[in-house]
Amino acid sequence: MILSSSDVAALLAALGLTSSLFKPIPDLIGSLTAPLDGVVSAVDGITTGLGLPKLEDLPLIGTILEAEDPMGITNMYKSLSTTKTHVVDSSDPCHVEPYDPPPVLSQTFPPFDSAKANIFRYRQQQSVNLGSWFVHENWMTPSLFTCASGSQISEIDIASGWGNLTGARAVLERHWDTFITQDDFQYLASIGINTVRLPIGYWSLGPLYCQGTPFEDFASVYTNSWSRVIRAINWAGEAGIGVLVDLHGAVGSQNGQPHSGISDGKINLFGNPTNENLTVNVLTYLVQQLAAVTNVVGIQLLNEPNNDDSLPDFYNRVITTLRQVSPEAMNFPFYIHDAFNLGMYSGFIGSRKDFVVEDHHSYFVFGSDDSHDTIKQETDKVDGPVASDLSSAYKKNHKNLVVGEWSCALTPESLSKDKNPDSSREKFCQGQEQTYSNNSAGWHFWSYKTETCDSEDGWCFKNVVGNMLPPTFFSYNSTPATTPAKSLLLSRTVAEMKLPAMVEVLDQARNESSLWNVKLSDSDDSTASPPASPSGTFWKKSSASHQRFFSIHSRRAQSSQVLPPSLESLTSTERSIAKGYSDGFLTAKIFAQYGMSRLGFKDQYISDSIKELEGVVAAGTEQYYKNWFYRGLNDGEVIVGKTLAQFACSVLTDPKYGWILASCVVFGDALLTQLIIRFIKYTEIDWETYMYHIELYLKGERNYSNITGPTGLLVYPAGHVHIHEILYNITGSGLDIPKAQQIYGLLYILTVVLSCSIYLKAGGVPNWVLLFLPLSKRLHSIYSLRLFNDCWTVFASQAATLSLLEGYNSVACILFSLAISIKMSALLYIPGLLVILLQQCGLARTIFYVTLMGLFQVILGWPFLSEYPWEYISGAFDLSRVFLFKWTVNWRFVGEETFLSPGFAKSLLIGHLTALFLFAHFKWCRHKNGVIGLAFASLKDPWNTLGKLSPDYMATILMSSNLMGIIFARSLHYQFYSWYAQQIPFLIWRTRYPLPLKLAIIIGTEYAWNVFPSTDLSSGLLVTANVALLAGLWYGWDHAQDPVQVSTEKKLK
C-alpha cells in the first residue's frame, strides 16, 4: 500500500486527527481532544576519507555486527520467559517472592571498531522503542504498579513501594530480566529492525547517580541496573542492531511527566543549576562509557523536554561539554528532542556542523467538535501535509532528522463514524511509516511491547507487524539473511558490483557541463558550481543523458578495460567529481554488505567525509563532490537493488542456492508454527489415551490385551510406547499440553528440514517447489494441535529416506525399523526399500539389513515379547483391523455397505500388489529386465551390485511405494495425511503434467483433507487426485533416467 503525503493528510482530516504536543497515553487522555578515521582504498588513485573497512576485509553479514559474549552466559536468558511480577499468595498481597537473578554484574563491551560504528551511526534507521523496560509507565506495565506507593504512576512510586527496598529491587530486577530477552532482539533483526531506542533514567546508572536526587533514599534498588543496560546493548550488538540510548528521565524532570520518573508534575531541571549539573554529569558518564561502543548509534540528551526558553542554551552548553569528554566524543552523534517545535530546532541543528540529530515525536489526538478554536489551532499546525513539514525540516537541518516516537494508536472517537475502520487504521499506520521513511533518516515506533499487547490497539509493535504494518522493514525490502551462509552469499553478490570506470563518469560530467556552460578543463576555475542539490532543472535535463550512461555502464561493467585517467591530467573539479562519484558508489556497496543497510544521514556523512579529505577535495569544488557523491550513491543503491532481485531469482531457480530457500522455508514455518500454537486452540483426540497407556505400562502392565484407555486398547508397537514414555515424563504425566505442543512443533520443523534435505539431495525439482511445504493447514493441525503419534513415524521415515540417499544403509534400515515400531504405516516403504537394497547392496547384504531390522524390532519389543509375546504381536501388528466408516477420508463415496464388505478389502489388496508389481517390473527395474530379472540375477550372484544408485531414483521409488499404499488403503483417517503430505510436491514434479494440472492436484488434495467430516465429493476428489498423481508418475517416468549415480562432471559432459 503506497500512500502519498496528500493521502495521509486527507486521512487525518477524515479521522478528525490533529498533531499532539504530548504522548496521548490511553489511560490518561480518553477521548482527548566517532572520529572518521582510516582510509578505505584508492579509487583511480584518489584516497577515500570514509571510516569504512576495505571490501576484502568484510566479515559475514550476521557476524560483522555481533558483539561478543564475554561471560558466555547468552543462552542462560533464553530460558527466561516474559512474566509479570511474582507475588506469593500470603496475607500480605504485596509480599514479593524472593528473586535470585542470573549473574549479569560483570558486563563489558567488545573492542571498539570505528569502521563498523560508522555503519551503525550513519545508516537509515528502522527502529522500535524498548519502552517501560528501564523507565516505567503504568499503562504499559501495570503489574509493576500493583503495590507501588503514592499515586502509582511513575518510576519513583515503584522504587518506594512494594513494602521495602528489597521487594522493590526484586520486582524490578525480575522485570529487567524477563520483560525483554535476547530472543526479542533476534526477532527484531529477523524482520529488518536495525536499531532500537533504549529509554533509561538517570537512576539506571546506579546508586552513585541517585545521590542528591529524589531517588537517593531508594538508590539501592538500582544497584544492578547499569549492568543490565550494558547487557541490553550487547544483546542488540549480537543481533546486528544499533542502540540509541535515550535519557528519558533527567534529574529534576525535564517535563513534569510521569515517564520522566516523578509523580509530582513539577519541572525542576531548567533554571536549577544543581539539577542541570547533575544531568550533565549523567550525560558525561554515558558518553565516557558508550562513545566507544561499536553498536551505540548515539545518545539522546533529553526526551520530550518542556519548550523552555533556556532549552537551546542548555543544549549548546551540554553538547560543548560532551564533545570534550574523549576523542571518540568529538564526532559522536547526539540526539536532541525538538520540544514539539519542529521548525525552530531544525534551524538550530541546521546552523551546526557537528553530528547532532533532531528527534521529532509524531502523535495525533482526536479533536472535539465542541472546541472549534482548539481544533483550528491544532489543525493550523498540520494544514500543510505532514510530509511537507517533515521534508522542510529535513532539508533545513541537513537531513539530520528522525521521528523518535510514533504509533498506530487511534481513539474510538476517531473511528466511530468510519465505514471501514480496519482499512482506515491500516492506511493511517502504513501512511505514517512511509512518510517518516521518505522524509527522515529513520523512525522509532513506540513501543515494542506492553504487558497487555493483546488489547493494546496500535501501541504494541509486536501486534501491528504484519497487521497494520508490513511484516518486514528491510532497507532494500529484501529477503532477510536467515543463515550465515546466505549472508555470505548476499555479501559476495554485492561485493561483485563493479565501479564504473572514471573515464565514463567524467565523460558523463563533461556532457552534462555543457548544459550549464562550465568548462571542466579550466583547472583554475573553481568558482562555477552546479546546483546545490541533486534536483531541479539541471538534473531533469541531464537525466536522459545519465540514463544512457548508466545503461552503457551496466553492459560494460564486467568487461570494461578502460584505463583511468592520470591524476595529473585532471582538473581539481574533475578530481572532486570522480572522487565524489566513487565514494558514493562504494558507500552504497559497503553499507549494503552490512546487513543490507543504506546510508541515512547523507549530508552529515558527506560533510564529515569532505572534512577528512582536506587536500583531496579542493576548496571551491565541495559542491561537485557532494552532487556526484549523491549520483554515485544512487547508482550504487540501484545496482544493489537489482543485484538482490537477481539473487532472489537465483534462489528460486538455481539448484546451488536451493538450501538458501530451504532455510527461509524452515525459518518462516517455525514462526508460523509458533503463531498456530499460540493463537489456535488445542483439540484433544488421542493424546490422553496415549498417556493412559503409558501410565499402565509404568505400573508394570506388559500384556497388550490389558493396556487400554479412553479410546481403546494399545494397538501400536513398542517404539510408540518408548517414545511416549519419554513424553509422559517430560510433560508431567502428559498434563502439560503447551509443552507437548512445543515438542511436536519442533518435531514438525525437524521433519520439514528433512523434507527439504531430501528434495535438495535428490535434485530435479525447482527450488521454489519447497515453498509448498509449509502451506498445509491440515498438516500443522496434525502436529501442533492434535499430537498424533503418526508424526513420529513420519519423522523416522523421512530420516531413513535421507540416510539412504546419503549412503548410510545400516542407519536407514534401523530408522525404517524404528518407524515401523511406532506405527505400521511405515511398512508401505518396504517394497521400494527392498528393490533399492537388492540393486545397491546385493542379495546377501539385503538379507543382512532385513535381519538387522528384525533384530531391532525384537529389542524394542522385548519388554512385551519376554512376557506376553502373542498378545504383543497380535495387538501391535494386527493386519486385520477394520476401521470405522464414519472416519474415512478416502472411500466414503462407495457407501458404508461396500466399504465394510470383505470383497472390497480383497480388491484393494489385489490392486495394491498389482500396482507394486507393475511399477517394480516396468519402471523401477526395467534396466534389470524387470523385477523378475532382478530376482534371478540376485539369486545367481548374491554379492553382485549395480553400484550406488542416484538419490533421485531412490527417493522417487520410496515415495511412489508409499503413495501406492496410501491409494489402496481401506480407510485413511485425517492424521494419515502426514504420511505423504510433504512428498506430494516432489512426486508432482516427477510427472509430465502441465503446471496448472500440477497445482490443481496439490490444491485438490489439500482441500479434500480439510473437509470435515468427509463427503462423497471430497473423498472422490481425494482418490481421483491420488490416482492422477500415480498415473502421472507412470507416464512421466524418464526413459533416459539412469538409476546409477554419476558424477557432476559426467552429467555436464
Residue 508: the pLDDT is 84
Lowest mean pLDDT among 9-23, 696-710, 758-772: 9-23
The per-residue DSSP string of 702-743 comes to --GGG-EETTEE--S-HHHHHHHHHHHHHTTTTT-HHHHHHH
CB 303 within 8 A of CB 248: yes
Residue 102: the pLDDT is 77
Band (383; pLDDT cuts 50, 70, 90): very low
Find the farthest-apart pair of alpha carbons in the chain and give their distance in angstroms, rounded. 105
How does pLDDT run across 132-147, given as a tens digit for each residue? 999 999 999 999 999 9
Residue 269 C-alpha from the chain's centroid: 41
- Asked if pLDDT for residue 277 goes beyond 80, the answer is yes
Return the amino acid letter for 430: Q
Band (654; pLDDT cuts 50, 70, 90): confident
Contacts of 79 (CB under 8 A, 6+ apart): none
- Asked if pLDDT for residue 524 goes beyond 80, the answer is no
Nearest-CA neighbor of 292 among 615, 37, 20? 37
Q: State the DSSP H helix or E strand holding residue 1000, giving kind and residue range, or none if neither.
A: helix 995-1009
Residue with cell 543463515: 483
How does pLDDT run across 385-418, given as a tens digit for each residue? 678 889 999 999 889 999 999 998 887 777 776 7
Lowest mean pLDDT among 151-155, 420-424, 491-495, 664-668: 491-495
The CB density around residue 567, as the number of other CB atoms within 10 Å, is 12
Give the start-to-end residue ranges of the domains of the chain.
Answer: 5-41+58-478, 488-648, 656-1052
Rounded to an integer, what distance in angstroms lies between the CA atom of residue 328 and that of residue 286? 12
CATH of 5-41+58-478 given 3.20.20.80, 1.10.3720.10, 3.40.190.80, 1.10.260.40: 3.20.20.80
542: cell is: 541531464
Rounded to an integer, what distance in angstroms lies between the CA atom of residue 114 and that of residue 503? 33
| 696: phi then psi, degrees, rounded to nearest 5 | -65, -40
Rounded to an integer, what distance in angstroms lies between the CA atom of residue 742 and that of residue 78? 15
Lowest mean pLDDT among 80-89, 314-323, 649-658, 771-780: 80-89
Rounded to an integer, what distance in angstroms lies between the CA atom of residue 113 and that of residue 544? 42
Angle value at C-alpha 655, between 653 and 656, nearest 5 degrees: 120
Contacts of 708 (CB under 8 A, 6+ apart): 692, 693, 696, 714
CA dihedral 78, 84, 87, 92 (to 10 degrees): 160
Rounded to an integer, what distance in angstroms lies between the CA atom of residue 937 and that of residue 959? 25
SS (HEC) of 363-376: CEEECCCCCHHHHH
Rounded to an integer, what distance in angstroms lies between the CA atom of residue 806 and that of residue 610? 58
Angle value at C-alpha 838, between 833 and 839, nearest 5 degrees: 100
pTM of the model: 0.69
How does pLDDT run across 216-271, given as a tens digit for each residue? 999 999 999 999 999 999 999 999 999 999 999 999 999 999 999 999 999 999 99
% residues pLDDT > 70 (the chain): 81
DSSP label at 87?
B
Residue 1036: the pLDDT is 87
Nearest-CA neighbor of 788 among 797, 775, 779? 779
SS (HEC) of 836-880: HHHHHHHHHHHHHHHHHHHHHHHHHHHHHHCCCHHHHHHHHCCCC
- Asked if pLDDT for residue 377 goes beyond 50, the answer is no
| 669: phi then psi, degrees, rounded to nearest 5 | -70, -30
Residue 191: the pLDDT is 92
% residues pLDDT > 90 (the chain): 66
Residue 705 C-alpha from the chain's centroid: 50
Lowest mean pLDDT among 211-225, 831-845, 921-935, 978-992: 921-935
Rounded to an integer, what distance in angstroms lies between the CA atom of residue 140 and that of residue 129? 13
- Mean of the per-residue pLDDT values for the chain? 85
Residue 481: the pLDDT is 54
